[in-house]
Amino acid sequence: MPSKPLRLAVLSDLHIDCDADPQSWELAKAAFRAAQAEGANHIVVVGDVFDCSTAMARDQGVVRTYLRRRGAWHRDRLTLVVGNHDIFHTAHRSDRFIEGMNIILQDAQQMYELFCHWAGELVDEDDRFGEYNLFPTTKLLGHVRLSCIDTTETNTADSTNGRVDTADIGLLSGLGEGVRHVLAMHNAPLEGRISTIKALDGYAGGFAKTDLRRLQRLVDGAEVEAIVCGHIHNNLGDPYEWELTGGQPVYLMGRTGGVHDTTPVIGLLDVPQRGRIRWREVEI
């Protein structure tokens, strides 16, 4: 008798800042409640949990305490992917002048390491490939392997993270044997801002320009069957799903936090042992 599909709830771009916008935290809590109400076996937040690194440093304890009380702060029930807003001072909701000064003064690498220490509580040592870097990381969840990469880009001089290199591709290769492999990343792998990336050249999140080939090699080598991502807030005519050249579907979930007046939703990815992977969206 085949097992039930594993239901992966996908949230993104919560942009929590309890100080600048308390409502952002209320909406985030509603998103977590909705994921559990829909019977999700596992929740993955694909980046921009927080609105800026200041909010990340200040509010991460509040988020962890809430999720612990709901029984969600556990390796088998929650995964957090780093996003650009989590480690850089690029807030949507805070004072723009103050945040502009913080961009000049901050140490983005320190913020990255702080996020990874926090999110790393949800990752066993056996799930990591490196002693110091949290990403890439991979978890086996029954018949589904969930792998996460960092695509935050290096947009400050002090940050050395944010690039997927050939070593990451090698580490993830061969992990899909006997399981369904899902890849989680923050930056949506779009070619510019067109509605499909069937062409081979273009820009893919933290991947270098004209290097969608490298992303394609990663998903082919690791036998990835689906990609979930965020970053794009879905209000600029971008599609909610499309395919890589190898046929791997990409599902975009960049509007859970309602940024830019988007409709807050969560994504649900049902992954059976065999057969079609199914995706649907639920309004919060």
pLDDT tens-digit readout, 30-43: 999 999 999 999 99
Give the structural domain span for 192.
6-283
CB 47 within 8 A of CB 81: yes
Any domain includes 149: yes
Q: Per the domain annotation, does 250 fall within a domain?
A: yes
> Residue 203: what pLDDT?
43
Render pLDDT for 114-138 as a digit per residue (tens, 0 to 9).
999 999 999 999 898 877 778 889 9
CA triplet 283, 259, 59: central angle to 5 degrees?
Answer: 100
- Number of domains into which the chain is organized: 1
179-238 pLDDT per residue, tens: 999 999 988 876 554 433 333 334 444 454 445 777 788 888 889 999 999 988 876 556
CATH number of the domain that 273 lies in? Answer: 3.60.21.10
CA 167 to CA 126: how far, in whole Å? 18
**Taking the model in full, what pTM does it have?**
0.88
Within a domain: 84: yes
Query: Under DSSP, is residue 62 helix (H, G, I), strand (E, B) or coil?
Result: helix
Q: Are 60 and 14 in contact (CB under 8 A)?
A: no
DSSP 192: T
pLDDT of residue 169: 66
> Is 193 within a domain?
yes
Kindly state whether residue 212 falls inside one of the protein's structural domains.
yes
1 domain-assigned:
no
Which phi and psi angles does 54 have, rounded to 5°?
-60, -45
Classify residue 104: in a domain, yes or no. yes
